[in-house]
Structure 1
Amino acid sequence: MLPGLAHAQIALGDIQLDVVSDGSLNLPGGFIFDPMPQTELLPILKDLGQSADVLTPPCNVTLMRHGDRVVLFDVGSGPDFTPTAGDLLASLEALTVTPDDVTDVVFTHAHPDHLWGLLDDFGDPLFTRASYMIGQAEWDYWINPNTVDEIGEARASFAVGAKRRLEMIEDGTTFFNDGDEILPGVAARASFGHTPGHMAFEVRRGGEAVMILGDCIGNDHIAFARPEWHSGSDQDPETAAATRLSLMDQLSHEKTRVIGYHLTGNGVGYVDKTSAGYAFVKEG
């Protein structure tokens, strides 16, 4: 691999998953922490070694290869969102994968760091041979012309950018709902709250599974330590908290391996139940 391009590989029978880096984000701590009880929050962050002021989460994109399919789960930020991200093409190149090789693109949700990599430097679709898949509820939300006025000023640019990009791929897009098998061995899992139609994906072969989380568990510190707390990064904080709690319970009980888009390192690990809450156990 090229320096700095996080990489992990998981084999599930004849399915190969690679986790590649789109870079990272640089966010103010308040983006997540502002709604939380500060007197309880700060000691937890200190114990976990996480700054309350700055967040620098990685952006981990999952590539799946199965038979003649080359599938991307989300496409990163592209050139227009933040200078610290947009590394996906270089990461794919290190695996000798080009945009023309990609047969399918599956979206967890339509926030900029997951969707805006859809276009190249000239504003044209990058994955010219791919078919696209997105949850029906997520599509309906972002394509709605009223969303830009209802989402709030801080996220208005998200709505404008999402609608423009999704309209460009509408003819090549199919929609799915909770529980649908969208590809052989891949089932959609409703994980609403971070966005109205956010989806995770369970990739399964036999008795072994990996859950591609997207942002329904959005960080490796406070989301695990206090999953019930509302996060400023979630569009519907109450629903997102309920989603986290349900998923944490399932994933820790079943010992399912996870890939988290913003979880530390390459995002691969397990959810462990602790006496106080949960913890992310990084693999590798």
Structure 2
Amino acid sequence: MSFTRRTLLGGLAAAPLAAAVPRMATASLSLGTAELTTVSDGNLSLPGDFAFGSMPQDELLPILAEFGLSRDSFTPDCNLALYRDGTNTVLFDVGSGPDFMPTAGKITDSLAALGLGPEDITHVVFTHAHPDHIWGLLDDFDDPLFTEAAYLMGRAEWDYWWDPNTVDTIGEARAAFAVGAKRRMEVIADSVTLVEPGAEILPGIAAVASPGHTPGHMAFEVRQGGAAALIVGDAIVNHHVAFRKPGWESGTDHDPALAVQTRRALLDRLAAEDLTLVGFHLPGGGIGRVDRFGDAYQFVEGA
């Protein structure tokens, strides 16, 4: 199946009624004297071909069946990482906001459940600029939601979405993604700090290059008190196929071949170092670890 903007957005509008009630899982992890919590933005509801269309169907279907999933839809959770060290309250990505889909855009409710409001966020750190990660920057009135926050994004990611040629080269299905990203980035253009891979962007938080899902996608390693976690954004986009068949290319990625290289490298590192994983679209709040067996991996929920 080839995708156009019409078929993609049509698929979003035709999401099953069962997906109309968002899933709101959360999880928490202590890192020394700091706390890393995932706050839910709900979940996405996408047509299955968007994620699975390019994969070997005879091998795909048994994997999905094992996890109790349908080939017809892709409905991942959306977990935003919230890091609090007593000085900074850092939110990684901002969710979908009110304009993407009805099952997502729930971040303010999740923050309220923790006794927090958008004004309590001191820093917003972006893994990348897809709608479910940056469209929540603006509220229902198109005003900035996180009014007291400083903003940080990888320089390569910023440059890609800021480039006026991107909307014409990204493909019809994702043209709206480019327009929406640019509109929100214009709001923070005078206050954003652009960061490079390897830099310590905040105390205990280092940027890790993880391109492929988008050209400048960034993961973030958080270390405090001898404990560590790796916030991977969408570099590992699900808990089933991405782990069982990490070499399969996915339609969710901008550069599928590069995304495979990144995914394998991250999974290798997570398993070898027994490093805690925080995944934006992983289940149970997205915090867990990675077990390796042969050329495949398994996501194990829980810190």
TM range (shorter): over 0.9
Establish whether residue 129 from structure 1 lines up as the match of residue 148 from structure 2. Answer: yes
CA distance in 2, matches of 1:276, 1:146: 39
Check 1:54–1:86 CA distance in 2 against 1; reply closer, same or farther (3 A cut): same
Percent sequence identity over aligned pairs:
60
Q: Pick from 82, 100, 121: which aligns with 1:63?
A: 82
Deviation track 1:2-61 (CA, whole Å, cap 9, x = no partner) reads x96322221111221111100001111111111111122122222232211111110001
Pairwise CA distance, 1:276: 4.8
Structure 1 counterpart of 2:271 = 252
SS in 2 for 1:106: strand
The equivalent of 1:28 in structure 2 is 47
TM-score, with normalisation over the residues of structure 1? 0.97
Alpha-carbon contact 1:72-1:104 (below 8 Å) kept: yes
- Determine the C-alpha separation between the residues in 1 that align with 2:161 and 2:102: 24
Q: Residue 193 of structure 1 corresponds to which residue in structure 2?
A: 212
Query: Aligned equivalents of 1:274 and 1:48: distance in 2?
Result: 18
| Local SS of the residue matching 1:249 | helix
Q: 1:168 to 1:209 in 2, by over 3 A?
A: same
215, 227, 239: which one pairs with 1:208? 227
Give the residue type in structure 2 aligned to 1:201: F
Partner in structure 2 of residue 172 of structure 1? 191
- 3-state SS in 1 of match to 2:152: strand
1:82 aligns with 2:101: yes
In the alignment, which residue of structure 2 is the partner of 1:282?
A: 301
Is 1:161 the equivalent of 2:180? Answer: yes
Point out the more displaced range, 25-34 or 267-276: 267-276
What's 1:140 paired with? 159
The CA distance in 1 between the partners of 2:56 and 2:155, in whole Å, is 35
Q: In the alignment, what sits opposite 1:232?
A: 251
Question: Does structure 2 conserve the Cα–Cα contact (< 8 Å) formed by 1:99 and 1:128?
Answer: yes
Given that 2:89 and 2:120 are in contact with CA atoms closer than 8 Å, whether structure 1 keeps it comes out as: yes
Secondary structure in 2 matching 1:193: coil
Tell me which of 117, 126, 136 is aligned to 1:107: 126
SS of the residue corresponding to residue 115 of structure 1 reads: helix
TM-fit CA distance, 1:62: 0.8
Matched, 1:49 2:97: no
Residues in 1 aligned to 2:164 and 2:291: alpha-carbon distance in whole angstroms = 41
Give SS of 2:261's match: helix
Structure 1, unmatched stretches of 5+, are none
Q: What is the rounded CA distance, in whole Å, between the counterparts of 1:280 and 1:266 in structure 2?
A: 12
Output the CA distance in 2 between the equivalents of 1:223 and 1:231.
9
1:92 aligned to 103, 107, 111, which one?
111
RMSD between superposed Cα atoms in Å: 1.3
Contact persistence 1:50–1:221 (CA under 8 A): no
SS in 2 for 1:71: strand
Q: CA deviation at 1:243?
A: 0.3
Q: Given residue 55 of structure 1, which amino acid in structure 2 is its aligned partner? A: F
TM-score, normalised to structure 2, is 0.91
Say whether residues 1:241 and 2:245 are aligned partners: no
